[in-house]
Amino acid sequence: MANITVSSDMDSLAADLAVVREFLDRATPPQELSDSERDRLLRQIKELMQSRNAKLVAHYYTDSLLQDLAEETDGFVGDSLEMARYGRESDASVLIVAGVKFMGESAKILSPDKTVLMPTLEATCSLDIACPIDKFSAFCDQHPDRTVVVYANTSAAVKARSDWVVTSSIALEVVEHLMERGEKILWAPDKHLGSYIQRTTGADMLLWDAACIVHEEFKSRGLKAMLQMYPDAAVLAHPESPEAVLNIADVIGSTTQIINAARTVPNEQIIVATDKGIFHKLQQVAPEKQFIIAPTAGDDATCRSCAHCPWMAMNSLQAMVDSLLNNTNEIHVDVELGKRAMVPLQRMLDFAAENALRVKGKA
C-alpha cells in the first residue's frame, strides 16, 4: 500500500509564512518608471551588456520589460533549468539572471567559470526559505532508507544533500522510475507538488511541509464560480496549486507545459492558475485567446493575493544597471558544494537524455 505522509517534525508552514509576511512588509517594490527613464535604463543596460559580453536570462515570471530585453539582446526567457542550461551553453563571460536566488545558484553550479550576477540577492522563494539545510539534513538522516528527491526550488546545499534534483515536468517520470526500482522516496520541499506526484504515481513518498506562497493562494471555490462565468474556458494549473484546484484543471503542468497547452487547447478562453507574469508569454504564443487569472484568496491572504511572486517582482531595470556597473550581487557557490550539487542535477539531465524527455520546469 502506497504511503503518503507530510512530515510534522519541523517548523510549521504557518511559521514559515510569518517569515514571508515579515519580509514583504519591509520589501520595497520596484518604482514605476516614466517612459523616458525606462528608455534611458534600457539603453544603459544594452551598452553595459555589450561591453561586458553579458547575456540576460530571465524567468517567465519576471517583468515583461525584462523578458523582452532578454529576447532582444539574444539572451533567453524560460524556466529555471532551461535558464541554467542556456547559461552553460552560452559563450558569454557574464550571465545576469533575472529570477530568484536559487536560479542564480543553479546557473553558477552549471557554469562555475562564468560570472553570474543578479539584479538583487534578496529575491528568494518561500520553498527555499522553508527548507533550511540543517533541518532538512537532519530529516534525511532520520530516514536513511529513502531516496532523497528535491525540487529545483532549493538551495545549493539542499541539492547537494539529495540523490535527485527534479523539475516539475520530469518529476513524475523520475518518481515512476524510482518506484519501479522499489525505492521509497523522501520528497522536498513543495507538499502540493509532492502530493500530486504521489496521487498520480502511487509511490511511497514522505513529504516535507512547504508551499509556494503564490500557488497556495488559488482557491477551488472561486475557480468554480469563475467557471460559471466562463463555462467554455479551459483551466490550466501548475501542480504547486492545492489539490482541490488541480481536481478542476483540464491541464496540469509546468510553466512550459502551460505555455504549450495554451497554444494547443481549442478553447478561446483560458483560466490560468500560476504566476501572472506568464501572461506576457501566453499572449505572445496565442494572441487570439483570452487569458484570465484564476481567483485567489482575498485581501487577507499571504502574498497579498496578487498571483504574482513578490521576489520575482524585485528584478528591476535599475537594479540590473547597478549590478552590471558595480559587479554587485554576484552569485558565489563554494566549489566543493557546487560539485556535490552537480551530481543530482546531472543525474536528472542524464535521465532526461536517456528517456528522450525534454526537461522543463518552473520557478
C-beta closer to ligand SF4: residue 63 or 204 = 63
C-beta closer to ligand SF4: residue 126 or 201 = 126
Nearest to 100 by CA among 61, 149, 54: 61
- Cell digits for 6? 507530510
The contacts found for 332-338 with CB under 8 angstroms, 24 or more apart, are 332/108, 333/105, 333/108, 333/109, 333/112, 333/156, 334/156, 335/112, 337/156, 337/157, 337/160, 338/108, 338/109, 338/112, 338/156
Question: What residues numbered 302-321 form the site for ligand SF4, per CB under 6 A?
Answer: 309, 311-312
C-beta closer to ligand SF4: residue 105 or 275 = 275
| Among the residue ranges 1-9, 86-94, 123-131, 229-237, the one whose residues contact ligand SF4 (CB under 6 A) | 123-131
Rounded Cα gap, residues 189 and 177, in angstroms: 20
C-beta closer to ligand SF4: residue 99 or 146 = 99
Percent composition of the chain: helix, strand, coil (DSSP 3-state, to 5)? 50, 15, 35
Using CB under 6 A as the binding rule, whether residue 127 contacts ligand SF4 is answered as yes
Please work out the total of residues on this chain that contact ligand SF4, with binding judged by CB under 6 A: 14
> Are 246 and 237 in contact, with CB atoms under 8 Å apart?
yes
Using CB under 6 A as the binding rule, whether residue 363 contacts ligand SF4 is answered as yes
Among 70, 81, 100, 282, binds ligand SF4 (CB under 6 A): 100
Question: What residues numbered 183-222 form the site for ligand SF4, per CB under 6 A?
Answer: 212-214
How many H helices and E strands in the chain?
Answer: 16, 13
> Are 186 and 142 in contact, with CB atoms under 8 Å apart?
no
> Shortest Cβ distance from residue 80 to ligand SF4 (Å)?
9
Among 16, 82, 209, 275, binds ligand SF4 (CB under 6 A): 275
> Shortest Cβ distance from residue 311 to ligand SF4 (Å)?
5
Say what the alpha-carbon torsion angle 53, 36, 328, 342 is, to the nearest 10 degrees. Answer: -60
Instruction: List the x/- string, 151-170, binding to ligand SF4 by CB under 6 A.
Output: --x-----------------
CA atoms within a 13 Å half-sphere pointing along the CA-CB vector of 190: 30
> Shortest Cβ distance from residue 151 to ligand SF4 (Å)?
9
In DSSP terms, 150 is beta-bridged to 165, 188
Query: What phi and psi values does residue 187 have, to the nearest 5 degrees?
Result: -110, 140
Nearest to 152 by CA among 290, 356, 352: 352
Instruction: List the x/- string, 53-72, binding to ligand SF4 by CB under 6 A.
Output: --------x-----------
Instruction: List the x/- string, 8-27, binding to ligand SF4 by CB under 6 A.
Output: --------------------
| Among the residue ranges 120-128, 227-235, 244-252, 322-330, the one whose residues contact ligand SF4 (CB under 6 A) | 120-128
> Shortest Cβ distance from residue 215 to ligand SF4 (Å)?
6
Rounded Cα gap, residues 95 and 83, in angstroms: 10
Using CB under 6 A, list all residues that contact ligand SF4: 61, 100, 125-127, 153, 212-214, 275, 309, 311-312, 363
